[in-house]
C-alpha cells in the first residue's frame, strides 16, 4: 500500500520550490512582456489583463496615490480600496498629518484613536487627495521630436517642459483628468500618466498612536517590528461618480475594483506582490555620487534634522497640545534623519561604492573598445567625479545658511527686504507699494501652530550649530558680528533677537507695520543675521546650481551608455527605471533573513512581542490596557494563525522605497494580506543598490489590522463592509493500491 496525497488547488504552489528576491520596480503596462512569465512561475494566479487593463476593471484600479491638492505632481504615500464603498486602507504614518489636523486637546485622535460608526461620522481630511491611474502611455517620440543636437542642456529641458505641457493639456480633456509626464532612465524615455483625482477624502478610522506608531523612532526601520501601522479613509464623489470638492451631498465613490482581504496569512516562500507609488531611488548613481552623499550631503541634513527633532521631542513630551501641534512635522524630520543615518552606515558596510566602481570599470573598458563610444561617453565618468568634488566643497554653504535663514524671527525678517530696498531707493511710489504689501501679509500665519518656548530654543540651537560649523573665512559678516558685538557669545546674539527684534512676536511685527522704519529694519539683529545667511548662501549657490546641472546632464549620458552596454553584453537582462512617484509593481516572496553571523530573524512576529516591549508610560512603548488584555487572554478570534497566535508583521523580499508606504501587499490571487510600511536597517543602502540577501519589506499583517478594527475598537460596521476571504484548508486523501 502506498499513500497518495491529493491537495486542493491552492496548495499546489508549494511545489514550485523556494522563490527568489526579485529586484525591480516595474511599470505595469509592461508586465505581460517583461514580468508575467516569472511571476507565473513563482505562483501568480491572475492574468495580465486582471493585473493591468485600460479597458476593463483590473487590479490597478484599486491602487491609490495619496497627495495634497487637486493637481498632484507626486505622491507621498499609497492607499488601496478595500470595499465597494471606496473604503481605503493606508499606513497610520501616511494619515498622520490629516489625523493631526483633525485633533484637538478635547478630541485627541492621535492619542485616543477615532472610529466612525456611520458615513455621517466620517471627518473631512482637508488637504489630502486620492488619485486613480486611468492609463499610462509612452510619449518618448513626441518629446524627442522637439529636440536637436545643437541645443544646450538648459534649452533641451525648456523644450521638453514645453512639449510635455502641450501633451498634458491635450490629455486633460478640459481638466477632467490630471495628466503628468515624467522622465525615466535619467531622461532617456518619457511616459504620461493620466489620473483622476478625488479631493473629498474623509477619515474613517485610526488606532491610537500607541498602536499605529508603537515603537516610535527607536523601532523605525528595525526588525522585529510590532507596529499596527494603518489608518482608514474613504473616497467621496458627486452623484455621477466624478471628483468634486467636499460637500455633505457627496456619496462614497463606487470603485472599478476593490481588494478582497485574505485571512490565510503567510508562509515562508509564499508569492507576494506590491503595487504602489515609490518616490525616489538612485539605482544608477555612480560611486562618486555615493561618496558625495555619505561624506557631505547626508551628514548635513542628518545633523540639522536631528537637532530639530530632539528639541521638538523635549517639549512635545511635556504638553499634549504641543505634541499635537508638532506631531506631523517632527515625524517627517525624524524619518529623514534616521534614514540618512542608516544609509551612511549601510552604504559603507555593504560596500555599495565598491560595487558601483566595478561596474564603472567594466563600462569604461566597453567604451574604450570603440572610438565612437569614446567620443560620446569617454569623459562622462571623469566629469561626474570632478563635479561631485565641487558639490562637496560648496554644499555646506548652501544648506546650513538656508535652514538658519528660515528659522523664527530670522526667517520672518526676510519678508521686509523689499521694503528696505524701496526705502533705500527713495522712490515714494515704491516705498508706498512696499508698505502696502506688508499690510497684506498675514503674519499670524507664521506663528500659527507654533509654541514659543520651543521655537525660541530652536533659534538658539540652530545659530549655535551654524556658528560651530563655519569659521571667519566662510562667513566673515556673521563671524565678526558675533565676535565683536557679542564677544564671541552666539547665544547672546540669539537672545538679542528673541528679546529685541521687531520680528520676534506677532504683536511687535504689527506695531512695526503701523509705523514702518527702514533704518530699524537694517539695525534689527534678526535682519542682520538673515542678510548674513543670504550672503553666505549666495556665495555657494551659483557653483552649486551649475554643478547640479552638470550632474544631471552627465547622468543622462551615463545611463544612455549603460543601457547600450547592457544591451550588448547582457541582452537577457531587463532594466527597470528608478522610482519617480509613478505607479510600479514589485514581486517577490515571504522570507526570513540572516543579517549577521549567528543572527537569524524569523519572517513573522507575533503580539507576544508587544508584551515584551511594553513599557508603561513610555511615549514609544506604552499600549492601551484593552490591547494588553486581549493579547494576554489570546482573544484573537478568527484573526489568529493555525497556532492560535496573532501575527502582527511579516517580511517579504519586495523592492520598495518611500512613497510605497501604505501599499497593498497581495498574495497570488490579488488578495490583500498586509500593508507595506518600512524597510529593514541592514539594507538601508537599498535605494542605491538592491541587496537580495538582506533587503526586506516590513508589512503589517492584514489579520492584525482586522483584529484592531474588530476586537480592539469594536468597529464591526467596517468589518461588515469588507470582502473577507479564507481558503478551504488543504485536504488529504488516502488512496489504497
Residues that are catalytic: 93, 229, 661
Distances (CA, A) of 75 to 278, 557, 581, 663, 674: 8, 28, 6, 12, 20
Over the Cα atoms of the chain, what is R_g? 28
Task: List the grid coordinates of 449.
Answer: 501652530
Dmax of the chain from CA atoms? 108
What is the CA angle 424-429-434, rounded to 5?
65
Backbone conformation region of residue 215, classed left if phi is above 0, alpha if psi is from -120 to 50, else beta: left
Q: Are 199 and 246 in contact (CB under 8 A)?
A: yes
* Cα(438)–Cα(443) distance, integer angstroms: 9
Would you state the cell numbers that stand for residue 708, as one nine-digit string? 484592531
Q: How far is CA 153 from CA 365, 546, 557, in A?
A: 27, 11, 11
Burial of 390 (0-12, 13-18, 19+ CB in 10 A): middle
Could you tell me where the beta strands, DSSP code E, fall in 26-82? 63-67, 77-81
> Rounded to whole angstroms, how far apart are CA atoms 36 and 406?
50
Residue indicated by cell numbers 484599486 = 62
Residues whose CB falls within 8 Å of the CB of residue 405, separated by 6 or more in sequence, listed in order: 411, 414, 530, 533, 534, 537
Cα 411 from Cα 409, distance rounded (Å): 5
Exposed e or buried b for every residue in 192-218, given b needs 16+ CB within 10 A? bbbbbbbbbbbbbbbbbbbbbbbbbbe
- How buried is 491 (Cβ within 10 angstroms: 0-12 exposed, 13-18 middle, 19+ buried)? middle
DSSP 735: -
| Of 80, 75, 283, the residue nearest 702 (C-alpha) | 80
Spatial separation of the C-alpha atoms in residues 408 and 443, rounded to whole Å: 12
Distance CA 273, CA 539 (A): 48
Q: Are 262 and 702 in contact (CB under 8 A)?
A: yes
Compute φ and ψ for 644, nearest 5 degrees: 80, 10
Name the DSSP class of 414. Answer: G
CA angle centred on 461, ends 456 and 466, rounded to 5°: 130
Which DSSP helix (H) or strand (E) runs through 673?
A: strand 672-679
Grid coordinates representing 186 are: 535619467
Amino acid at each position: 500500500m502506498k499513500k497518495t496525497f491529493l491537495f486542493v488547488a491552492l496548495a499546489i504552489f508549494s511545489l514550485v520550490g523556494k522563490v527568489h528576491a526579485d529586484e525591480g520596480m516595474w511599470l505595469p503596462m509592461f508586465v505581460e512582456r517583461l514580468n508575467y512569465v516569472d511571476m507565473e512561475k513563482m505562483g501568480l494566479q491572475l492574468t495580465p489583463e486582471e493585473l493591468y487593463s485600460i479597458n476593463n476593471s483590473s487590479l490597478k484600479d484599486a491602487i491609490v496615490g495619496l497627495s495634497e491638492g487637486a493637481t498632484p505632481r507626486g505622491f507621498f504615500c499609497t492607499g488601496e480600496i478595500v470595499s465597494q464603498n471606496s473604503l481605503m486602507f493606508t499606513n497610520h504614518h501616511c494619515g498622520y498629518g490629516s489625523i493631526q489636523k483633525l485633533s484637538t486637546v478635547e478630541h485627541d485622535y492621535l492619542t485616543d484613536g477615532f472610529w466612525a460608526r456611520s458615513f455621517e461620522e466620517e471627518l473631512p481630511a482637508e488637504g489630502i487627495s486620492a488619485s486613480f491611474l486611468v492609463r499610462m502611455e509612452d510619449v518618448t517620440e513626441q518629446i524627442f521630436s522637439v529636440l536637436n543636437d545643437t541645443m544646450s542642456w538648459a534649452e533641451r529641458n525648456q523644450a521638453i517642459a514645453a512639449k510635455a505641457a502641450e501633451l498634458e493639456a491635450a490629455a486633460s480633456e478640459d481638466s477632467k483628468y490630471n495628466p503628468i509626464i515624467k522622465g525615466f532612465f535619467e531622461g532617456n524615455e518619457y511616459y504620461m500618466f493620466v489620473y483622476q483625482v478625488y479631493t473629498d477624502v474623509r477619515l474613517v478610522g485610526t488606532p491610537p498612536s500607541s498602536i499605529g506608531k508603537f515603537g516610535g523612532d527607536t523601532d523605525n526601520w528595525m526588525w522585529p517590528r510590532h507596529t499596527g501601522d494603518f489608518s482608514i479613509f474613504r473616497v467621496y464623489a458627486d452623484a455621477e461618480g466624478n471628483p468634486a470638492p467636499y460637500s455633505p451631498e457627496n456619496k462614497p465613490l463606487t470603485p472599478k475594483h476593490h481588494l478582497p482581504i485574505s485571512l490565510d496569512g503567510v508562509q515562508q516562500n509564499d508569492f507576494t506582490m506590491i503595487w504602489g507609488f515609490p518616490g525616489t531611488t538612485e539605482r544608477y548613481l555612480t560611486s562618486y555620487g555615493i561618496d558625495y552623499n555619505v561624506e557631505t550631503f547626508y551628514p548635513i541634513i542628518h545633523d540639522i534634522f536631528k537637532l530639530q527633532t530632539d528639541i521638538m521631542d523635549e517639549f512635545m513630551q511635556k504638553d499634549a497640545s504641543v505634541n499635537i501641534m508638532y506631531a506631523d512635522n517632527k515625524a517627517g524630520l525624524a524619518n529623514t534623519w534616521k534614514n540618512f543615518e542608516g544609509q551612511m552606515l549601510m552604504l559603507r558596510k555593504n560596500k555599495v561604492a565598491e560595487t558601483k566602481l566595478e561596474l564603472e570599470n567594466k563600462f569604461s573598458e566597453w567604451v574604450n573598445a570603440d572610438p565612437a563610444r569614446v567620443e560620446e561617453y569617454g569623459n562622462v565618468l571623469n566629469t561626474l567625479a570632478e563635479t561631485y568634488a565641487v558639490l562637496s566643497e560648496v554644499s555646506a554653504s548652501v544648506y546650513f545658511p538656508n535652514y538658519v535663514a528660515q528659522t523664527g524671527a530670522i526667517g520672518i525678517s526676510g519678508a521686509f527686504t523689499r521694503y528696505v530696498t524701496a526705502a533705500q531707493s527713495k522712490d515714494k511710489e515704491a516705498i508706498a507699494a512696499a508698505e502696502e504689501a506688508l499690510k497684506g501679509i498675514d503674519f499670524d500665519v507664521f506663528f500659527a501652530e507654533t509654541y514659543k518656548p520651543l521655537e525660541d530654543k530652536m533659534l538658539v540651537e540652530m545659530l549655535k550649530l551654524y556658528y560651530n560649523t563655519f569659521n571667519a573665512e566662510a562667513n566673515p559678516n556673521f563671524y565678526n558680528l558675533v565676535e565683536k558685538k557679542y564677544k564671541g557669545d552666539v547665544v547672546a546674539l540669539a537672545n538679542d533677537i528673541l528679546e529685541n527684534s521687531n520680528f520676534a512676536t506677532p504683536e511687535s511685527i504689527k506695531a512695526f507695520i503701523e509705523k514702518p522704519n527702514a533704518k530699524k529694519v537694517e539695525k534689527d539683529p534678526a535682519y542682520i543675521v538673515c542678510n548674513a545667511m543670504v550672503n553666505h548662501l549666495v556665495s555657494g549657490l551659483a557653483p552649486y546650481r551649475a554643478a547640479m546641472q552638470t550632474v544631471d546632464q552627465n547622468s543622462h549620458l551615463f545611463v544612455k551608455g549603460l543601457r547600450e552596454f547592457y544591451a550588448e553584453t547582457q541582452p537577457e537582462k531587463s532594466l527597470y527605471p528608478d522610482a519617480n512617484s509613478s505607479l510600479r509593481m514589485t514581486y517577490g516572496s515571504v522570507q526570513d533573513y540572516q543579517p549577521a553571523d549567528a543572527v537569524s530573524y524569523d519572517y513573522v512576529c507575533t503580539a507576544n512581542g508587544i508584551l515584551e516591549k511594553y513599557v508603561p508610560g513610555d511615549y514609544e512603548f506604552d499600549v492601551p490596557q484593552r490591547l494588553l488584555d486581549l493579547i494576554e487572554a489570546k482573544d484573537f478570534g478568527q484573526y489568529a494563525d493555525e497556532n492560535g497566535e496573532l501575527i502582527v508583521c511579516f517580511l517579504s523580499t519586495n523592492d520598495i522605497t518611500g512613497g510605497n508606504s501604505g501599499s497593498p501587499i497581495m498574495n497570488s490571487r490579488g488578495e490583500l494580506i498586509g500593508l507595506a510600511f518600512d524597510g529593514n536597517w541592514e539594507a538601508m543602502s537599498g535605494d542605491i543598490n538592491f541587496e537580495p540577501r538582506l533587503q526586506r519589506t516590513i508589512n503589517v499583517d492584514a489579520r492584525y489590522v482586522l483584529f484592531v478594527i474588530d476586537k480592539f475598537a469594536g468597529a464591526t460596521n467596517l468589518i461588515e463592509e469588507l470582502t473577507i476571504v479564507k481558503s478551504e484548508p488543504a485536504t488529504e486523501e488516502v488512496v489504497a493500491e
